[in-house]
Amino acid sequence: MRALISVWDKEGLDRLATGLAGLGWELVASGGTAAYLEELGVAVTPVEELTEVPELLGGRVKTLHPAVHAGILARRDSDDDVAALGAHEIEPFDLVCVNLYPFSRARAVEMIDVGGPAMLRAAAKNHAFVTAVSSPEQYDAVLEECRAGGVSPATRRRLATEAFAHTAAYDAAIAAWLGDDALPRHLTLAYDRQLDLAYGENPHQRAAYYTQHGSTTHVLAGIEQLHGKPLSYNNLLDLTAARLVLRELDGPACVIVKHGNPAGAAEADTAATAYERALAGDPLSAYGGVVAFDVPLTGPLGERVGEEFVEVLLAPDYDEGALASLERKPSTRILRGGEALDAELAYRGVPGGLLVQERDAAIDEREGMEVVCGEVTDEQWRDLLFAWRICKHVTSNAIVVAKERMTYGIGGGQQSRVDAVRLALDKAKERVHDLRGAVLASDAFFPFADGPGLALEAGVRAIIQPSGSKRDGEVIEAVTRAGAAMIFTGRRHFRH
């Protein structure tokens, strides 16, 4: 039996090589791998002895040779293939172990592996006779089957599938790096499975969490789970929503998300105050939600949060007192950390296809917005920008009523904008919030003056919206008659 080994990552190679050698296998290896095996005291044949050609072009060419690829691709049940090997004195390979240059980390032309993918694809293509090993994680299982008499056809097929997926992901990373079009003609995506989830949105749906190949800014990057049950599909959706809202707020801030939408959010002088105000926005909807902070939690706040039913809790850190209190709830998923999220493309699957767009990630500032009626105080500006940034993350039609950088009422997912206004106001009134002097944000223009009219009657004194309706003049007139103010942002934030 004969194995060809050419690996960048030497992790676990000592076990595989010594294991195969102990079974009487002949080992052939390329430059650096051969030197490593010789240091281990394992008998190895350098590839250049087969090819009778030294490495060329600074290592760019070393395994691209018939002595290598014919030995991988030969079909053992083909008389012609066997005869060709004999005529050219080429010995076949039974196992090919290759892992590739780490392009995803280095991202440079010289880290684009050519020979490695070629050997791996050749072995995977000929999996009826050759075992394609593409990851150190596969070594132990392959060795076990070799010791038991040989790698089974089913395992060779599974390893071939993994090898082709591996090389496809590698090429996708290179194409993405080389390309300069955010929406290319051919979109090649590669994702690695990170977590098996208990189920999807419903118990009858299978689900898993995948991260973009090589990504260091996915939603769980830099996050450590300290306590609680495994994360679920819906947990991850809500955690994503919470993190995207939180990145737009000025801390200390707290966001509570339920069913993909903010249930409450607040900015304050302390994390404790921010939490109480976010919770007060809609305590009923906050039950069983995801709670996210942008500052560490200390003991008293941990004890307070622990009094509520929280599915997932995220903060940069926790002191010992906070953790002790929070861990009394066995099921609460306590998460710590989190890398900054990048403004990558946003994908949504549709039957047989994929909708792709730039993520709506820009954080809108006051500059460029237009006050079209009334006067806006600095305090109102703070509230308006706060409400506007929350509104961006609410399912359309979206309305956010806020005061003193706290959400009073959120209306989302309505087919009618006036119904969204009515829902937000009703929630605020149900919680007995004083709407006098509150502000309102709308993710898109008001087609009629009826929505703003309801808000103005309830006490709202400033409105922020994109504009763009043919009846903008009527809306401005209604706000002016009420003695209130209105801002046009010039930018819409639909979230379907």
In the chain, the amino acid numbered 338 is: G
Radius of gyration of the chain, Cα coordinates, nearest whole angstrom: 30
Active-site residue, 204 included: no
Q: Is the peptide bond before 252 cis (omega within 30 degrees of 0)?
A: yes
Count other Cβ atoms within 10 Å, centred on residue 426.
Answer: 13
Q: DSSP per residue over 120-137, as a string?
A: HHHHHHTTTT-EEE--GG
Element (H, E) at 463: strand 462-465
Adjacent-strand bridge partners of 354: 349
Active-site residue, 125 included: yes
Could you give the CA distance from residue 372 to residue 375 in angstroms, rounded to a whole number?
9
What distances in angstroms separate CA 235 from CA 147, 211, 247, 257, one per listed residue?
43, 16, 18, 10
Which residue among 259, 392, 427, 470 is the active-site one? 259
Adjacent-strand bridge partners of 334: 227, 313
Tell me if 495 sits within 8 A of 393, measured CB to CB: yes
Could you give the CA distance from residue 224 to residue 227 in angstroms, rounded to a whole number?
9
Could you give the CA distance from residue 213 to residue 192 in angstroms, rounded to a whole number?
6
Which residue among 125, 127, 166, 229 is the active-site one? 125
Residues 6 or more apart whose Cβ sits within 8 Å of residue 412: 261, 394, 395, 396, 397, 398, 399, 420, 423
Adjacent-strand bridge partners of 7: 99
Could you give the CA distance from residue 245 to residue 339 in angstroms, rounded to a whole number?
15
Count other Cβ atoms within 10 Å, centred on residue 43.
Answer: 11
* Token pair in block for residue 201: 């949105």
In the chain, the amino acid numbered 492 is: R
Element (H, E) at 278: helix 271-281
- The secondary structure of 144-188, three-state, reads HHHHCCCCCHHHHHHHHHHHHHHHHHHHHHHHHHHCCCCCCCCCC
What distances in angstroms separate CA 199 from CA 202, 313, 389, 445, 481, one per listed residue?
7, 20, 32, 39, 54
Active site residues: 125, 259
